[in-house]
Each structure stands twice: as structure tokens, then as C-alpha cells.
Amino acid sequence: MKNTFFIAMALSGLLFVSCADDKNKKEPQEVAKVETNEFDYNVEQFADVRVLRYQVPGWEQLTLKEQKLVYYLTQAGLAGRDIMWDQNYRHNLAIRAALENVYVNYRGDKTTEDWKNFEIYLKRVWFSNGIHHHYSNDKLKPEFSLDYLKTLLTETNTSLKGEAFDVLFNDTDSKKVNQGKGIDNVALSAVNFYGPNVTNNDVETFYGKMKSPDPKKPLSYGLNSQLVKENGVLKERVYKSGGLYGAAIDKIVEWLDKAQGVAENQAQGDAIGLLIQYYKTGDLQTWDDYNVAWTAATEGNIDYINSFIEVYNDPLGYRGSYETIVQIKDFDMSQKMSVLSENAQWFEDNSPLMEEHKKKNVVGVSYKVVNVAGEAGDASPSTPIGVNLPNANWIRAAVGSKSVSLGNIIHSYNNAGSSGRLKEFVNDAEELALEEEYGQIGDKLHTALHEVIGHASGQLNPGVGETKETLKNYASTLEEGRADLVGLYYLYNPKLQELGLVDDWKKVGKAAFDGYIRNGLMTQLIRLNLGDDVEESHMRNRQWVSAWAFEKGKADNVIEKITRDGKTYYNINDYDKLHELFGQLLRETQRIKSEGDYAAVEALVEGYGVKVDQTLHAEVLERNKQFTSAPYSGFVNPVITPTTDDAGEITGFMMEQPATFAEQMLMYSKNYNNLPVKN
């Protein structure tokens, strides 16, 4: 699962985690700018998006062999970039090719509003890896006319016809992922994981008949395939060499072969070898074998995430989106934060969970702070800030998991400049002072606790199926909220100070609680259009956690809703009781997961996480109008280029930053165009 920063305004308090069934995306809360230096973190801003850069500390300290490993792994990731585009929507690659051809070849008037709107639309499509918004899942709406696009296509001799053209302007396929209640989520989701006419019932029936060879080690059925109907018969199209996306997968394998040749150690090399085998065969047992080997391979300075992993884009939580992240260990911060994984059993033993839901032996939880060297697929441009994998519950229980915080990504968020939103939405000077002094450490610790302790905690009752089967379309938001609650519960605990992680656990906890409630009940609403329900899993989890705590604490006035000068604020009056409430909700969310209680998760999410107070929403949007920074952020990646001698042997590397977002996107399309427009 993943923990992701989506808010460009850096709202302080939440981070994003990645787990077996979920992708945890958290947002930075609003914090003050930490430092000023010559590095320019900002690339550009358009629509609701800000594009940033990140530095790669530690690159120069790597050996040439280690730098080769990083380079080969980043190239492997980029080789599969187009897979994510096609997974997101069946016409994305054709649309991208047409829009890019227009962008490069149009020689007409580029000073008009229509052209400026065309450029913005293309950049939004680039940022979202397709025509649906990267976070809300709503289809992006062009601010230019159908006739204007026809003119551009004609003048650049570009072809875009039929459904691929029409869908840009009509209401068809309006949501990439539709998590609505009481609907056929598969049929009404545009994501390209399922063929036409495939329904919820088809998916549940098809996979309900599949039995793993070892019931205690259930295979991740559906993770690496598209489910379609051929002549009325359901059939999987498996992602593998010679199968669906085979042309791109073969390129991935070529680069992984090179990476295996410069692996830092035997365990790392063996894991890469199993990943290669998995790509070649599409065999899910090999996928589990790989994850076991990858989880156990903890030595070395370089690590990576690569394949079809997070299931957030599948309305029923079966199919994995393609993503890669290449990581260089941050030795200093990893050593400081390793105390969390070393004490994972203490956190489990002292949690408010029912005894039968606690793990008696938490194993293999490794935690590192890393610096990203490159990302692709579902991790780029919009990136997580933390990841915890693998996602299979049985592997996490038997072997363990790897948790990482993406240190240089978090650093870039915190140093790209801040807006005044924090001062606008905090209740008083005390809350502001706590956030400014303790907000960043609270964010870092919440991400770490969410990833290391949260996703690794708890266990399913014997005989209860995987959460994607029992909790269905609510599985992702339940898991992310559960991990958030673990982090919140322990952020307000003297154990953190005892472990040397903070100098004042109460103030850190108070800042974290303030930020979470402020974001969950108010500031995240800036990302919704007035009248919208909350649909994205992570937004839902922040709202249902916050709204539940607010309601349950009303009798004791734990959280007070204040109206002053026509503006709404939330003030926490009793942090101790809020801590107790978070513990109660954590206990209940684990019970729901452990028992597979669908009725309870539906009531929790629909009752607290979906509907929005429209009066408050209108107020928040009005108060936010004064701020110019965009609500979402993402990144360009540094470009790593090898230098060679006369014999063609690599002698070193240059690492350069892209000047513009368009420069990188066009370069990627040119150099990593490994799939046809229709697959």
C-alpha cells in the first residue's frame, strides 16, 4: 500500500501508504517553508496542478556499479510506462498520440485562448496518465470546442476518429473508477481492467470459482490480467511476454536482465530473477515467490518497486496498476527511524485491538527512509510519499513487509514554497504555533507509523477471505483509514519520546490531531466541486475517521465547531479523549476487517465518509479563492544519461533536471513508446 501526498499546498498531518489491497495516499498538511536554497523545486502550475522537481541526495556517493543498477531499474520502469496509460482507459494512447502530434506540429496562432486551453488540457492528460483526473477519477473537460479540435487535427494532418474523439466531449465513460453505492461498479467504471459488458456479478462469480492450491496462501487472482467476454464467455488476458502488453513487458525484461547483472548481492539478484520469470510467464505463484524473496532481500543501498501492484483503480480491488519506484537508501534517516520496525511487536501488543485480532508474532517489518531516483506508471507524476509492500496478507504475516518513506519527495513538498492556507483555516495562534513547530515531524512519523505499524498490524479471523472479497468496494478506504488510525493512536503516546523520535510527544500528537481533523473535515474539500460527494478512497477515509470522532465526541465537546466572523473552525478541546476515540474506532475497523463485516463497513463509510455539508463546502471554497497555489502536486523525474568510452562501456552518468513538464512528457513518448494505441 502507498501513502501519497496529493495536496500541493502541503497541509500538515497526513502521509500516504501502500499495502496489499490498497494504495494509501495521504496529503501533506500546510506547513511553513523550511529552507531556501538555489535549487528550484517548482516547474510550473496549471489548472489544479503544480509540477515540482526533486533532488537525489546520495547519488554521487554510489559506486559506478550501484549507479548502473539505478539506471537499469529506472529504464525498466519507463519501458512499461504506456501500460499504465492503457490500463487507465482503452483510448488513452490514441488520444495522447493525437494531442501530442498537434502540440508539436501546429503552426497556427498560439496566442489565442483556445490554444492556451488546449495546452492546459494536454498537460492535465499527461499528469493524469489519461483523460480522467488522477485523483477524483472524473473525466477531464476540455475548455475548447469540438470544432476547434477538429481544426487543429486537420491543420496538423492528425487522425483521431470515432469513439476516441467523441469521448472527449460527451458524457460517455465519465468516471474512471465509480465507487458508488448500489450500482454496478465494474460496468460504470471506464478503467480498462474489464471488457465491455463485464459486470460486478461476472467478476465475483469468475473468481469465486478459483481455489488456491494452498488456502492458507491465497494467490492474487486477477492481479495481472484484463477480464473480458468473448462470445459470452469470460476470459483473462494475462499481462506477460507474448500476452497482453507483451511488447512493453519484453522491454522491461531486457532492462531487468541488465539490472540483475549488477545486483548488489545474491538475494537481490535472485529476487530480480523471479520478477523476470513472472513477467515472462504471468504465473501468480511466481509472483508470490518473488514477493517472498523481495521482502527478504533487505541488504544493499538500492531497492525498487516494479510491477502490477496497487488495486485502487479497480472498483472491486482485484487488478493491479503498473508502477515503479527506484530508491536509494538514506542511511542517516533510516538509522534514526529503524527504531519503529525494531519495536513493531510492542506497538502490536499495546494496541487497542481485540486480543484475537492482534498478531502474536510480528515478523520481518523493515523500514527505510529512501531517496527516489526515478518513478513511472501509477507512481508518476503523482507520487506516493510512503509505501508498504507486499500486499498479500499471508506474506505479511509469515515473512514480513518492507516500508519506506520517500524522503526527498517529502523534502521537495516542504520546500517548494507555502501558501497562507494554514493561517486561514487554523482556529487560533496556539494551533498555528504547534503546526509550525511540530507539523513536519508529525507528518513524517504519521507516514512511518501508517506504513510500518499500521499496515502490518492485525490479522484476519480463521476462514475469513481476503478483504477484496469480503469488504468489496470499501476494502481500500477501510484499510487506509485503519492504518491512519494506528498512526494517530500512537502519535499521541509517550513511547515515541522514549524511543528518541520526538522531544515532546504531547505537542507532536496535538499538532498531528489538529492537522488531521482540520483536513478531514474542511481543507480537503477544496479538491471537490460544490455538490460532489466524496468518492476517492483516501479522501473518504480521512472524512469518515474525522466525522466519526467529531460525532462520538459531541457529548463531551471533544471537538468543537466554532463559527467566527462567518467562518468555520474546528477546535480540539480534549486531546486525551480524542485519543481514546481514535483507539475505539481503530478497534472497530480492525474487527470489521478481521471478520469481513460488509454491512458494518458500508454503514461506516456511507454514514460518515461520502456526503458533504454543502454549506460548509461552499464556505471553504470561497475562503480558498484567495490562494493561488494548486491543490495537487506531482513531479518530473531527473534524467539519468550514461557516458561511455570508445568501446561503448559505461564510465559514468549525468543526472539532469528537465526544464519543463512538456519536455519530459514528449521525451518519454518518443523514447518509451512500446505499445500500439490499441491493445
Give the containing element (helix H, strand E) for 371.
Answer: strand 365-377
* Pairing, β 365-377 against β 401-406: parallel
Q: What are 654's three cell numbers? A: 549525468
Mean pLDDT by 10 residues, the chain (679 residues): 46 34 39 54 95 96 97 98 98 98 98 98 98 95 98 98 98 95 95 97 96 95 97 97 98 98 98 98 98 96 97 95 96 82 94 95 84 98 92 91 91 78 93 93 89 90 91 93 97 96 96 97 92 90 98 97 96 98 98 97 97 96 89 96 96 96 98 97
Q: What is the pLDDT of residue 23?
A: 36
Give residue 195's pLDDT.
96
DSSP 149: H
Query: What's the pLDDT score for residue 493?
Result: 97
pLDDT tens for residues 389-409? 999 989 988 999 998 889 999
pLDDT of residue 466: 87
C-alpha distance from residue 195 to each of 192, 228, 377, 679 (Å): 7, 4, 21, 12
CATH 3.30.540 describes domain 69-78+193-329: yes
Instruction: Please state, in angstroms and rounded to a whole number, the distance separating the CA atoms of residues 552 and 593.
Output: 21
Q: 280, 241 in Cβ contact below 8 A?
A: yes
Of the candidates 256, 223, 228, 233, which has an alpha carbon nearest to the alpha carbon of residue 69? Answer: 256
Residue 34: the pLDDT is 37
Query: Can you give the pLDDT at residue 234?
Result: 98
C-alpha distances (whole Å) from 521 to each of 14, 358, 543, 610, 613 are: 13, 30, 6, 12, 10
Give the integer Cα–Cα distance in Å for 402 and 363.
11
pTM here?
Answer: 0.84
Per-residue model confidence (pLDDT) at position 418:
59
Contact 225, 239 (CB under 8 A): yes
Q: In the chain, what are the domain boundaries?
A: 2-43+331-405+419-632, 69-78+193-329
Q: Is the peptide bond before 390 cis (omega within 30 degrees of 0)?
A: yes
Q: Return the number of other C-beta atoms located less than 10 Å from residue 276's C-beta.
A: 21
> What is the torsion angle, in degrees rounded to the nearest 10, for the CA atoms of residue 101, residue 105, residue 110 and residue 112?
-50
3-state SS of 310-348 is ECCCCCCCCCCEEEEEEEEECHHHHHHHHHHHHCHHHHH
The CA-CA-CA angle for residues 624, 40, 372, to 5°, reads 95
What digits encode the pLDDT tens for the residues 171-198? 999 999 998 889 999 999 999 999 999 9
Backbone φ and ψ of 565, nearest 5°: 55, 35
